[in-house]
Amino acid sequence: MYFVKNTPAEKRAQLNKKLKTGKLIRFPGAYSPIVAKLIEEIGYEGVYISGAVMANDLGMPDIGLTTLTEVSYRAEQIARVTNLPSIVDADTGFGEPLNCARTIETFENFGISGCHIEDQINPKRCGHLDNKEVISPNEMVKKIKSAVKARKDRNFLIIARTDANAVEGIDKTISRIKAYVDAGADMIFPEALKDEKEFEKIRKITKAYLLANMTEFGKSKLLSVKELNNLGYNLVIYPVTTQRLALKNVEDGLKQIFIEGHQNNVIDKMQTRKRLYELVDYEKYNQFDSSIFNFSKKGHE
């Protein structure tokens, strides 16, 4: 159901085709399946599934507490409702090289189009916080090789994320990137780059696909699509944006209702019933069972 036409294999092929154009593609974060549907409807090229968002949604900090079972289950729920390719945050691969292989197998079987694995020690922390620690380049190379070997669909995107810039500096980050590409990574995710100069420096030293993380309130300058395109980046994620937008609105609305004792003054900030039903394809389900949808939306705005 869900009225999704593209198979997981078709979504991965679609992602591969878009990357080969050389044009920057945009992957906003989806904190729930319905947000993925909204991302597709608006016209974005893909959906990003953030580990930080998932941890936050469970009321926990992003320090590696979530498990492969939790992340893969939620990722599959999000990916299956959209025709767009979905990329998921796999943290440190949920363990050593053998665990990384199982991680790739799990995500591939669940219909995901790609994932990134980072070179932080476990337990990890948010990529834009201080006092991170990274594993050795050799350890990360083993994880990447294991991930590449485990995939069955060549179009499943293996992304190597490096957090070394904030720990070891840009030169050692570049050295790691070269090693990760040689190990078989399809794309590099250099985390917490500070400004255009650092983004440009990374682009000059590798021909691999590059991912830019435009997360708010972090260490990176927020660059526009035009700027990232000019810098030669291939994919941009907005990982926590939709969750931040939603939570701010929920918090403000709840406070106002608490003070005023009613929701009449926040109705204009809410999505209407009609719009919600459009987004979840309510009427289309009538094709399966006319008893599901047998009323008029008039008066249910």
Q: Which of 213, 233, 234, 244 is catalytic?
A: 213
> Among all chains, which residue has been given the structure tokens 């993925």?
36
DSSP H stretches of helix in the chain: 8-20, 33-42, 51-57, 68-79, 97-109, 137-150, 165-168, 170-182, 196-205, 225-230, 241-260, 273-279
Annotated catalytic, 161? yes
Annotated catalytic, 91? yes
Annotated catalytic, 89? yes
Q: Which of 74, 163, 191, 234 is catalytic?
A: 191
Q: Which of 74, 119, 126, 209 is catalytic?
A: 126
Q: Concatenated DSSP letters for 131-172?
A: S--B--HHHHHHHHHHHHHH-SSTTSEEEEEE-THHHH-HHH
Q: Which of 76, 118, 119, 186 is catalytic?
A: 118
Q: How many CA atoms lie within 13 A of 212 on its CB side?
A: 30
Annotated catalytic, 213? yes
Q: Which of 31, 40, 44, 62 is catalytic?
A: 62
Q: Which of 40, 45, 76, 91 is catalytic?
A: 91
Closest by Cα among 201, 211, 143, 217 to 169: 201
Annotated catalytic, 40? no
Q: Which of 161, 180, 186, 234 is catalytic?
A: 161
Annotated catalytic, 80? no
Annotated catalytic, 126? yes
Question: Which residues are identified as catalytic?
Answer: 48, 62, 89, 91, 116, 118, 126, 161, 191, 213
